[in-house]
Amino acid sequence: MDQNFFADYFAKLQEVNQQWWKELDSGKSALNSPLNRALNELNMEDTAKLLEGAMKQPSNLVKVQMNWWEKQLQIWQNVVMEPNEGDPIVQAERGDKRFADDAWQEEAIYNFIKQSYLLFGETLLKTIEAVDGIDDRARDRLTFFTRQTINAMSPSNFISTNPELFKLTIESNGQNLVKGLELLQEDIKSSSDVLKIRMTNSDAFQLGRDIATTEGGVVFKNELFELIQYKAKTEQVSKVPVLIVPPFINKYYILDLREKNSLVNWLVEQGHTVFLMSWRNPDASMRDVDFEDYVLDGVAKAVDTVEAVTGEKQCNAVGYCIGGTLLATTTAYYAARRMRQRFKSTTYFTTLLDFSMPGEIGAYVNEQMVSAIAAQNSLKGYLDGRSLSVTFSLLRENSLYWNYYVDNYLKGNTPVDFDLLYWNSDSTNVSAACHNTLLRNLYLENRLAQKQGIKVGGVWIDLEKVKTPSYFISTKDDHIALWEGTYIGARKLSGDTTFVLGESGHIAGIVNHPSKNKYGYYVNESKTDSAQEWFSGAERKDGSWWTHWQAWVTQFSPEEKVDARDVGAEEYPVLSAAPGDYVKQTLPIKPTRSAETVAKAATEVESES
C-alpha cells in the first residue's frame, strides 16, 4: 500500500476520533450514562461473587484449566505438527458464519488462531459454569456479558487476524478501510448514546409505495394512535371484524411489508374486515404516557371505533408481542369492570403475560439496571429507539451486530436494500413512563401475572378472569419472548386456549406466508402444565400456521356473510390514506448509500429473527 493510502486513512481516522471525543464531551456517549455506570458496578459485583466462589473451590477451576491446556496442545499438534490429519479439535457452532472463508481451515496460522479463540471462549464460559454458589441471575448476567466480550474479541473482527479482510485490504490498497471510516462517521452522527450500525439503505423504500401498500384509510386518530381500516378485496366479508394491536416499540408494517409476505393483505383476501392500530412515535411531550394510557386511550378506544364503524358489538382481536400484552390487559380490564364481552376471540403473537422467563433480556432486568434506565429515560422523556434497537441486536450479536461492523467498516461494503432490514432499522421511541412500567412492573416484579398486581382505570387486573377464547402462536427459536414463557402466560387465562408453536423466530416465524411453505408448526390439544410435556406430545404440521389460525377463528364468525364494507363511516370519515402519518415519523437518521446485494442479509436476518 502506498503513502497516499496511509495519509488518507489516518486523516479520516483523526476526524472520526475527534467526532467521538466531541460526542463524549457532550454527554451523548453511553460512557457517561447512568446505565453504563450501573452496568459497570453490577459487573464488578458479579465478578466479585465469581472470584469469591472460585477461591472456595479451586479444584473445579483446575479441572477446567487442565482441560484447556490439553486441548490447546492438541490444537497445536492438529494444525502445526500433523496438518490436515483428522477433524478440528474445536469447531464453531452450527450457523456461525464468521469463519466461512476457506483460509480459516486451509492456512495453518489462521486455523490455529480460530481454534485457539474458540477454545478460549468455551473455557471462559465453562469457568463460570464450574463455580458453585452463585445465584442464577448473577450467573446468567456473567454468562451473557462475558459472551458479549468474547464475541467482540473475535479474530474475525480484526484485519490482522482475518484472512479475508487482510487480503481485501492489500488488493484494494486499503480503500475498503477508507470507505468504512466514512460509513462509521455517518453512523456516529445518526446514532444515539450507543453506536447503531446501519443494516440497510434508508432511502431504498418508501412507505405506501414499496412497503405498507395494502389499500385502506385512517378512520380515527388521537394523540396516541391512528386506526387504519383496510379496503375489502372480496364481495362479501365475515360478519365479525378483526382488530390488530401491534407492539408500540416497533412500526406496525412488519405485518404489511410487501404483498408477497403481508399478513394484513392475506387477511383481507380471506374475507376479513381488518382494522389495525398505528402507534405514534413518542417524543419528550409524551414522557408521562404510561402503559395504562395505551390500554384506555389506545386499545379500548380502537375497540369502540371498530364497533361504531362496523355496527358489530364484538370483534376478533389480535395482539403482537407487547401489543398482545396490551390486548390481554384490556380484556382483563373489561372483565374487572364487568362489561359485556367486547371480543369474540383473542389471538396472541409471541406474547408474554407472565414475565418470569424473560430470556436474555433478563441480563438487563434487576434493581440497579432498572433504576439506572429510569434515570436515563427521565433526561429525555423517552427511551431512544435507536438504543433499544442496538440492545435487541446484541441479543444475537454475531449475526445482527458484528457482521455488519465487519461488512460496513472493515470491508467497506454499502448496505443492502432489504425490506425486513429497513423495518428493523426504522426505530421507535418508548415514552419514559411506559418503559419504566414495562421494566419494573412487568419484567422485574412480574406483577401482571399476580392478582392485584397492577391497576388500570382504577380496577385491579386479574388475568384469571379472562374467559375469552384465545389462540397463542409462539415460535421455537424466539429469543425475545421465549416460547416456554409464553406457554406459562397462556395458562393464566381461564377461557378455552389453543397453543401453537411455530418454527423459526420472533419475526420470521410469525411473518410466514402460506405461499412460501417455509416453516411448519406444532399442535397439541392436551393442556399440560409443563411446556416441555406439551412439546413432547405435540405433532408437527407442514405449512404456515396462518391457515391453522384461519380455520380456528372461523368458528367465531357466523357462516352468514355480509356485503363488503366501505372504509370509514359517516361519523368516522377517512382522514388520510393508509399507511397514515404516525408510521412515517422517523428518528434522525443520516441518508445512506445504495445497496449491492440482498441475498446474504436476507438469509442472516431470517435465520435470527
Q: For 292-346, what is each residue's pLDDT tens digit?
A: 999 999 999 999 999 999 999 999 999 999 999 999 999 999 999 999 999 999 9
Higher pLDDT, 538 or 516: 538
Is the per-residue pLDDT at 605 higher than 50? no
Q: What is the mean pLDDT of residues 189-194?
A: 83
Residue-level pLDDT at 58? 85
Active site residue 321: yes
pTM here is 0.89
Burial (CB count within 10 angstroms: exposed 0-12, middle 13-18, buried 19+), residue 28: middle
What span, in angstroms and rounded, lies between the C-alpha atoms of 111 and 106? 7
| Residue count of the chain | 609
- Give, for 142, the enclosing helix (H) or strand (E): helix 136-152
Residue-level pLDDT at 471? 98
Residue-level pLDDT at 28? 54
C-alpha atoms less than 13 angstroms from C-alpha of 8 in its C-beta half-sphere: 15
Burial (CB count within 10 angstroms: exposed 0-12, middle 13-18, buried 19+), residue 482: buried
60 confidence band (pLDDT: 50, 70, 90) = confident
What span, in angstroms and rounded, lies between the C-alpha atoms of 88 and 79? 8
Higher pLDDT, 175 or 20: 175
SS3 sequence, 144-201?
Answer: HHHHHHHHHCCHHHCHHHCHHHHHHHHHCCCHHHHHHHHHHHHHHHHCCCCCCCCCEC
Q: What is the mean pLDDT of residues 100-112?
A: 94
- Give residue for cell 436476518: 605
Nearest-5° Cα angle at 336, 332 to 337: 120
What span, in angstroms and rounded, lies between the C-alpha atoms of 263 and 510? 9
What span, in angstroms and rounded, lies between the C-alpha atoms of 572 and 261? 30
Alpha carbon 358 to its chain's center: 13
Q: Are strands 470-475 and 497-502 parallel, antiparallel or unpaired?
A: parallel
Q: What is the per-residue pLDDT across 294-308, written as a single tens digit (0 to 9) for each?
A: 999 999 999 999 999
575 confidence band (pLDDT: 50, 70, 90) = very high
Residue-level pLDDT at 300? 98
Higher pLDDT, 276 or 395: 276
Domain with CATH 3.40.50.1820 in the chain: 216-363+427-582
Burial (CB count within 10 angstroms: exposed 0-12, middle 13-18, buried 19+), residue 90: buried
Nearest-5° Cα angle at 81, 76 to 86: 80
Of the candidate ranges 214-218, 281-285, 362-366, the one whose mean pLDDT is the lowest: 362-366
Contact 156, 406 (CB under 8 A): yes
Residue-level pLDDT at 607? 46
16 confidence band (pLDDT: 50, 70, 90) = low
Contact 355, 322 (CB under 8 A): no
14 confidence band (pLDDT: 50, 70, 90) = low
Amino acid at 515: S
Higher pLDDT, 136 or 535: 535
Residue-level pLDDT at 29? 54
Residue-level pLDDT at 217? 98
Q: What is the mean pLDDT of residues 355-365?
A: 91
Q: What is the mean pLDDT of residues 37-62?
A: 82
| Residue % of the chain over a pLDDT of 70 | 90
Output the nine-digit C-alpha cell for 343: 371480543
Residue-level pLDDT at 192? 82
What span, in angstroms and rounded, lies between the C-alpha atoms of 117 and 99? 11
Residue-level pLDDT at 112? 95
What is the chain's Cα-based Rg?
26
Residue-level pLDDT at 426? 92
Q: Give the Cβ contact number of residue 150 at 10 Å.
A: 17
The pLDDT mean for the chain works out to 90
- Specify the CATH number for 216-363+427-582; select among 3.40.50.1820, 3.40.50.300, 3.40.50.150, 3.30.465.10: 3.40.50.1820
Q: What is the per-residue pLDDT across 528-550, written as a single tens digit (0 to 9) for each?
A: 999 999 999 999 999 999 999 99
Contact 489, 395 (CB under 8 A): no
Residue-level pLDDT at 415? 85
SS3 sequence, 416-452?
Answer: ECCHHHHHHHCCCCEEHHHHHHHHHHHHHCCHHHCCC
Distant-in-sequence contacts of 20-24, Cβ < 8 A, 24+ apart: 20/188, 23/188
Higher pLDDT, 163 or 52: 163
Integer angstrom CA distances of residue 220 from 223, 399, 582: 11, 40, 12
Integer angstrom CA distances of residue 345 from 101, 155, 469: 51, 52, 5
Q: What is the per-residue pLDDT across 161-180, written as a single tens digit (0 to 9) for each?
A: 999 999 999 999 999 998 99
Q: Of 194, 289, 321, 335, which residue is the catalytic one?
A: 321
What span, in angstroms and rounded, lies between the C-alpha atoms of 481 and 531? 14
Integer angstrom CA distances of residue 477 from 68, 76, 164, 525, 542: 31, 36, 31, 21, 17
Residue-level pLDDT at 411? 96
Q: What is the mean pLDDT of residues 171-200?
A: 89
- Give residue for cell 445465584: 135
Is the per-residue pLDDT at 145 higher than 80? yes
